[in-house]
């Protein structure tokens, strides 16, 4: 039988081109691996307070001081809330040109456990608000810098902090190499589970992960509903005010959120619809979310089945990625998004092996406003408290921060390998530790810069230039 012709959408026959590994290796000529350690703040770098204020535009004004207060808590917290500023700093940094679906906010606190459809715990990245197609280096450098800051906050020595960044980069490189050598389907479906801990040599972390897992298994919609709802005389349940984190909202606003769930159902796979048809919408409340998202519109929706068992959905406002303008200038222009919630959901599905099976998106139309152009706000929809659990990297003892670094580095590589050919990245990174050393050097330098930025924000709060509310 003669050889079949090339079929578009599949790989080209090997003899038609150079191997991906060789292509990746050749990229070292244009972007030396040592160059990945370069960091020099741009002369036109925006003022820190101005940057924070600009990132607060469009958020609910009464919640903005809470966001600023959380960012002021520590340099690590500041980094968590300033993905856009770091993207500006990375905009002119050396990149290979290899693109991937990146998290955009891959700091050390955005990894954790969550339950799959059958309740089994999976370990992976778990925040995708900033996701887009961009340079794989940006995620790795953000992770490495965040580990240095988290280690410093935890009281680890400077050598341990740098080694954590080095280990994260090393685990990323080795995992890419491992995936590059595996059958394509096996590499694609590699699950982030307890085997990863062993592979990443994170055994010292096992005790911590076991405690987090035990807590995560109890972190369910039912448990949240039991603590946050009350029965009403008419039958059913409703949320109980617990300001400022959880609060009831006007009926018209709640009705608008509930009405948006019809559009959400259109984004789910057809086989999920019979399941959702067995739940009745009971109530909607507003709930404040994490540091970077404080001030966005975020709701919890209480659903009850025929037995009165709860399912809680989160309907969270989806804004454009803070990285988008900088990724474009770095040579990674984003295609038209259409709907920011869809961008987030599709990015999450591209990076995770197992995603929330009720993940979707919708548009919430403001009460009293028609459904014409510009009338609605895009939102993402997901399960709330589906056995989520996370490690606080800033609370880890010094002998565990490097284990955590290796685990998260491996997770990040696996996530990138869904969109970037691991053979390309592995070819560039190679067997040695040149990339590891460069990324570690960048991480320490950027952690120093972030500490200075944080100090500038704290000083501005003390002078009354920007309002902050702490302890929330």
Confidence of residue 372 (pLDDT cuts 50, 70, 90): very low
Last-in-domain residue among 343, 361, 383: 383
Confidence of residue 139 (pLDDT cuts 50, 70, 90): very high
In a domain? residue 446: yes
Contact 442, 37 (CB under 8 A): yes
Number of structural domains (the chain) is 2
The pair phi, psi for residue 98, each rounded to 5°, is -75, 120
Are 172 and 58 in a shared domain? Answer: yes
Are 343 and 440 in a shared domain? Answer: no
In a domain? residue 10: no
Q: Pull the structure tokens for residue 13.
A: 């026959």
CA nearest neighbour of 282 among 222, 232, 219, 224: 232
- Which helix (H) or strand (E) segment holds residue 399: the answer is helix 398-416
Are 153 and 282 in a shared domain? Answer: no
Looking at every residue in the chain, the average pLDDT score rounds to: 91
**Cα separation of 209 and 226, whole Å?**
26
Mean pLDDT along residues 419-429 = 97
In a domain? residue 467: no
Pairing of strands 132-135, 99-102: antiparallel
Return the percentage of the chain with pLDDT > 90, whole number: 73
Please state the separation of Cα 86 from the chain's center in Å.
15
**Cα separation of 463 and 424, whole Å?**
50
Handedness of CA 408, 126, 424, 15 (dihedral sign): positive
Mean pLDDT along residues 135-144 = 98
In a domain? residue 472: no
Are 268 and 225 in a shared domain? Answer: yes
In a domain? residue 9: no
**Cα separation of 329 and 87, whole Å?**
11
Are 86 and 170 in a shared domain? Answer: yes
In a domain? residue 3: no
- Where helices occur in 117-157 by DSSP H, the ranges are 136-154
* pLDDT > 70? residue 374: no
Last-in-domain residue among 383, 413, 429: 383
Last-in-domain residue among 351, 383, 415: 383
Residue 139 domain boundaries:
16-217+391-462
User: How many residues are there in the chain?
Assistant: 472
Comparing 16-20, 147-151, 216-220, which segment has the lowest mean pLDDT? 16-20
Are 147 and 106 in a shared domain? Answer: yes
122 strand-pairing partners: 114
In a domain? residue 2: no
- Which 3 state secondary structure label does DSSP give 468? coil
Are 328 and 344 in a shared domain? Answer: yes
- Which 3 state secondary structure label does DSSP give 14? helix
In a domain? residue 469: no
Are 269 and 328 in a shared domain? Answer: yes
């Amino acid at each position: 039988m003669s050889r079949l012709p090339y079929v578009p959408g599949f790989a080209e026959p090997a003899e038609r081109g150079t191997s991906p590994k060789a292509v990746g290796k050749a990229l070292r000529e244009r972007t030396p691996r040592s160059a990945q350690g370069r960091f020099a703040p741009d002369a036109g770098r925006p003022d820190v307070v101005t940057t924070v204020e600009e990132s607060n535009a469009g958020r609910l004004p009464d919640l903005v001081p809470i966001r600023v207060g959380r960012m002021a808590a520590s340099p690590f917290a500041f980094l968590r809330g300033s993905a856009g500023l770091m993207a500006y700093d990375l905009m002119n940094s050396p990149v290979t040109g290899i693109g991937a679906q990146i998290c955009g906010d891959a700091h050390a606190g955005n990894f954790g456990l969550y339950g799959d459809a059958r309740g089994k715990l999976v370990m992976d990245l778990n925040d995708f608000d900033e996701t887009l197609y961009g340079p794989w280096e940006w995620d790795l450098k953000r992770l490495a810098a965040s580990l240095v800051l988290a280690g410093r906050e935890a009281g680890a020595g400077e050598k341990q902090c740098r080694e954590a960044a080095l280990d994260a980069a090393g685990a990323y490189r080795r995992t890419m190499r491992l995936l590059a050598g595996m059958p394509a389907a096996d590499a694609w479906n590699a699950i982030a589970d307890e085997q990863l801990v062993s592979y990443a040599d994170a055994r010292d972390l096992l005790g911590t992960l076991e405690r987090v897992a035990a807590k995560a298994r109890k972190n369910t919609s039912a448990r949240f509903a039991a603590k946050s709802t009350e029965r009403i005389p008419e039958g059913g349940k409703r949320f109980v005010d617990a300001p400022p984190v959880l609060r009831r909202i006007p009926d018209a606003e709640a009705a608008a959120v509930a009405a948006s769930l019809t559009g959400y159902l259109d984004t789910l796979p057809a086989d999920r619809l019979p399941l959702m048809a067995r739940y009745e919408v009971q109530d909607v409340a507003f709930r404040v979310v994490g540091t970077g998202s404080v001030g966005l519109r975020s709701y919890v929706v209480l659903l009850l089945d025929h037995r009165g068992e709860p399912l809680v959905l989160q309907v969270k406002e989806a804004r454009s990625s803070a990285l988008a303008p900088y990724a474009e200038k770095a040579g990674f222009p984003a295609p038209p998004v259409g709907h920011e919630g869809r961008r987030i959901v599709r990015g999450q599905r591209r990076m995770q092996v197992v995603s929330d099976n009720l993940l979707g998106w919708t548009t919430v139309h403001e009460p009293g406003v028609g459904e014409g152009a510009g009338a609605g706000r895009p939102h993402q929809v997901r399960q709330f408290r589906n056995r989520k659990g996370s490690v606080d990297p800033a609370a880890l003892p010094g002998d565990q921060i490097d284990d955590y670094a290796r685990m998260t580095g491996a997770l990040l590589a696996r996530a990138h390998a869904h969109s970037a050919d691991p053979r390309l990245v592995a070819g560039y990174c190679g067997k040695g530790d040149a990339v590891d050393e460069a990324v570690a050097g960048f991480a320490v330098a950027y952690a120093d810069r972030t500490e200075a930025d944080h100090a500038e924000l704290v000083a501005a709060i003390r002078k009354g230039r920007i309002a902050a509310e702490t302890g929330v």
